[in-house]
Structure formats: structure tokens, C-alpha cells
């Protein structure tokens, strides 16, 4: 195992304490939103003091033959610790074909990669799995259209009833897309309607049931994005809370927004984000519509499947990544899986020791080259990432 150091990302929505607590570093007043462990060109980790993307270019074999055959000489996954203290933007991610086309198009247009109006930062898709370390609130996908119409109508604003009428008249994705795009509008009319909706919801934030959840979401979003018309769009989405150990898989096209909590996130090695609202950043509605899946469906949580004592895998269909959780207790020895692949091991609690003599404490990480066969013991909770092929 090789010592690995990641990169902190200081986004405004981040927590000032959660990631420092996990990494064992001093907290500052600056929000620390994400800790990246991977080889993305914009923020590569270092392995034994050298940038991981450069190491892979020099010796692609450390990632593994199957991964290189499928994805080329790169690390196809990016492992993160994410700590949200306030809602992230409404967003979706592209398929591989959409990412390749969008990246090439913006290159041809001469838009610099660091331009705030750039949508595609690379040519990769971004399926992702978010796994809760603390209670984790999120919006994901779209609620049943009739249920959404009923909740909006319960607010008791005629103009709001008119806005959501297509949900009843045009069942399915067509009506959902029409109302969602209307709700994204940042016109004075939509901002006024959002403000009135929040005001009507305030007396119901302690209510139980679906309408109480609906109202709490409206008031929470208004706290951070006051007068933002896209609050109305967010209210069409499924809101749910994950408990520690539960996860959610987000395929391409899934509209989502993380609201609050700390978790482990693994994704394809991409930074492509198409935003739809709740953000001061660039929004390209046409690009967003081209990737979003407007089929309404409930949220399905992902739970770990035990593969051996102390070792569980979170199953997803993504070929770019796989994720295991290690719970080392009572002398359990775990042989790290995926020996034919380049892997990332992150300890989030306790400490462990590898059969190669490496010791990792809470907050420390290691990179294992393809072919390294390591058994670990200790008293720790850790996560292991690898290519999914």
C-alpha cells in the first residue's frame, strides 16, 4: 500500500467541521465541502508525494488490465468525502455519449475549461453513489405527478394551481417537463409565486406527513436561496433522509440536490455538472433538458451486501466504480478484494494495519496497485474503491 493524500475543495455549501473531524486536521472558518481521492486532472491526489494522474500515465498497469482495456490509461473512479451544511444546486449529469459530444462542442467553441459558463469540464459521464455517514437529507428524482399536483394545490394559491395543471392534463414525462421548466423560470412572476408559497408553508412546518415534508423543504430552501423561483421546481422532487450505512445511486439524467449531511461519494472520474437552479452559477436550461430523465419514480436506497466477515459491497450498475465497506473488529482479517485493479483505501474511524506492514489511522488513505494482495486487521471502519469492471 502506498500513502495517498487527497485534495480539499472549499465550496460555499460545505461544513466547516465535518471533514476536518474525519481527517484529523484543524478546522477553520472556511467551509470544506469535499475531499477528493483520485486522479482527476483538476485536482489529482498524490501517492508517495507524486501526482497520481502522472503516475498512471507513466505506468498504466497500476490501474489494472481490465480497467485500461475499458477506459484507457486513467483511474476511472473518484472517491470523495462530502460534507454539506446547506443545499447544493439542482443538478444532473450526462451519459458518456452526451459528455463526449458536449465536451467536443465547447472545445470547438473555444470556451476555456475554467470559464464559469463552461458546462462540460471533461468527456466523461458521472454516475455516482452517495453513502451516508450521518443522517443525510437529499432531493432525488421526481415525485408521482398526481401526488405533486395535490401537494401544490394544498398550498391554496390559484396561480400555483394553474402552474401545475399540466401535471393532471398531460400525465407522464411530458407534463412533468413542462411544469418543471416553467418552475425554473427566474421571472418576477415566478419569484413572487415562490415567496408566496413559502409564506403559506410557514405555518405547516411542524405538520406530519407529506405536506409537512413539502413545507419544510420550501422553508429550508428559502432560507438559503430567498426569492429563488427554482424553489418551485425543487418541490416537485422526492425528498428523503438516508441513515448511516444507506446509499442512493444516481444514474445519468437523474435530477438531484443534496441538502445536508456527511457521506462517502464515489463516481466516475468526472466533474460534469448541469445545474438547474438554487445556485448563482451558470445555468444552461437547454443543455439540462437534453440530459434530464423526466420519468417520475420513488427513491430506491442501496444497502450493503456482505461478501465476507467484515467486508460488504454496495452494488451498483456503474462499470467505472465499485465500493466496499470494511468493519474491522474482534480480530477479523479481511483480504482486500479486486486484486487485479488499482484501489483506494480510506479509513474514516479507528486504525488498521496491512499485511505489508502499512498502518493507516483515521483520515488516512492508501493506493494499492493492481496485483497487490493485502490482508488488513485492526479496529476500524474504512472504504475501498476500485474500477467496477
Pair (11, 113) in one structural domain: yes
Q: Is 79 exposed, middle or buried (0-12, 13-18, 19+ CB in 10 A)?
A: buried
State yes or no: is 275 an active-site residue. Answer: yes
Instruction: Encode pLDDT of 12-31 as tens digits.
Output: 999 999 999 999 999 999 99
Pair (364, 313) in one structural domain: yes
Please report the pLDDT score of residue 314 as a whole number. Answer: 98
Instruction: Encode pLDDT of 290-334 as tens digits.
Output: 899 999 999 999 999 999 999 999 999 999 999 999 999 988 999
The mean pLDDT of 53-65, rounded to a whole number, is: 97
Task: With respect to residue 379, please indicate whether it lies within any of the assigned structural domains.
Answer: yes
Please report the pLDDT score of residue 89 as a whole number. Answer: 94
The 8-class DSSP code of residue 177 comes to H
Contact 344, 365 (CB under 8 A): yes
Q: How many Å apart are CA 60 and CA 141, to the nearest integer? A: 37
Please report the pLDDT score of residue 187 as a whole number. Answer: 86
- Better-predicted residue by pLDDT, 276 or 60: 60
pLDDT > 90? residue 192: yes
Alpha helices in 38-157 (DSSP H): 52-58, 65-71, 96-108, 145-155
Q: How many Å apart are CA 353 and CA 186, to the nearest integer? A: 54
* 381: confidence class by pLDDT, cuts 50, 70, 90: very high
Domain containing 352 equals 305-386
Pair (132, 152) in one structural domain: no
Helix, strand, coil content of the chain in percent (nearest 5): 30, 30, 40
Q: Which of 275, 303, 313, 343 is catalytic?
A: 275
pLDDT > 80? residue 170: no
pLDDT > 80? residue 185: no
pTM above 0.75, yes or no: yes
Pair (210, 227) in one structural domain: yes
Please report the pLDDT score of residue 374 as a whole number. Answer: 98
Q: CATH number of the domain that 23 lies in?
A: 2.60.120.10
The mean pLDDT of 353-379, rounded to a whole number, is: 98
Q: Is 261 exposed, middle or buried (0-12, 13-18, 19+ CB in 10 A)?
A: buried
Pair (115, 197) in one structural domain: no
Structurally, the chain folds into a number of domains equal to 3
Please report the pLDDT score of residue 291 as a whole number. Answer: 94
Task: With respect to residue 53, please indicate whether it lies within any of the assigned structural domains.
Answer: no
Amino acid at each position: 500500500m502506498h500513502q495517498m493524500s487527497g485534495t480539499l475543495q472549499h465550496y460555499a455549501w460545505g461544513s466547516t467541521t465535518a471533514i476536518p473531524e474525519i481527517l484529523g486536521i484543524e478546522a477553520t472558518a472556511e467551509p470544506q465541502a469535499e475531499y477528493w481521492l483520485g486522479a482527476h486532472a483538476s485536482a489529482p491526489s498524490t501517492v508517495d508525494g507524486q501526482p497520481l494522474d502522472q503516475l498512471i500515465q507513466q505506468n498504466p498497469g497500476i490501474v489494472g488490465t481490465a480497467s485500461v482495456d475499458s477506459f484507457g490509461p486513467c483511474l476511472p473512479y473518484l472517491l470523495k468525502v462530502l460534507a454539506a451544511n446547506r443545499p447544493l444546486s439542482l443538478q444532473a449529469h450526462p451519459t458518456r455519449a452526451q459528455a463526449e459530444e458536449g465536451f467536443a462542442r465547447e472545445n470547438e467553441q473555444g470556451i476555456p475549461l475554467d470559464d464559469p459558463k463552461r458546462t462540460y469540464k471533461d468527456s466523461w459521464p458521472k454516475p455516482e453513489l452517495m453513502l451516508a455517514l450521518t443522517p443525510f437529507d437529499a432531493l432525488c428524482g421526481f415525485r408521482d405527478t398526481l401526488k405533486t399536483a395535490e401537494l401544490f394545490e394544498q398550498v391554496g394559491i390559484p396561480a400555483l394551481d394553474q402552474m401545475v395543471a399540466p401535471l393532471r392534463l398531460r400525465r407522464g414525462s411530458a407534463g412533468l417537463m413542462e411544469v418543471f421548466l416553467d418552475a425554473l423560470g427566474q421571472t418576477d412572476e415566478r419569484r413572487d409565486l415562490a415567496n408566496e408559497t413559502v409564506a403559506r408553508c410557514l405555518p405547516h412546518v411542524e405538520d406530519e406527513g407529506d405536506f409537512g415534508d413539502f413545507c419544510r423543504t420550501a422553508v429550508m430552501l428559502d432560507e438559503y436561496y430567498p426569492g429563488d423561483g427554482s424553489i418551485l421546481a425543487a418541490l416537485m422532487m422526492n425528498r428523503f433522509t438516508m441513515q448511516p450505512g444507506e446509499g442512493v445511486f444516481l444514474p445519468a439524467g437523474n435530477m438531484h440536490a443534496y441538502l445536508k449531511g456527511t457521506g462517502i461519494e464515489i463516481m466516475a472520474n468526472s466533474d460534469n455538472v448541469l445545474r438547474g437552479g438554487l445556485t448563482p452559477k451558470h445555468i444552461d436550461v437547454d443543455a439540462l433538458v437534453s440530459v434530464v430523465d423526466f420519468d417520475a419514480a420513488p427513491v430506491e436506497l442501496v444497502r450493503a451486501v456482505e461478501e465476507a466477515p467484515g467486508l460488504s459491497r454496495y452494488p451498483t450498475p456503474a462499470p467505472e466504480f465499485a465500493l466496499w465497506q470494511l468493519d474491522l473488529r474482534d480480530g477479523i482479517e479481511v483480504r482486500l478484494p479486486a486484486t487485479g485493479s488499482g484501489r483506494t483505501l480510506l479509513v474514516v474511524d479507528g486504525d488498521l494495519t496491512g499485511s505489508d506492514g502499512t498502518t493507516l489511522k483515521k483520515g488516512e488513505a492508501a493506493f494499492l496497485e493492481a496485483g497487490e494482495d493485502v490482508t488488513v486487521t485492526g479496529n476500524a471502519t474504512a472504504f475501498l474503491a476500485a474500477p467496477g469492471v
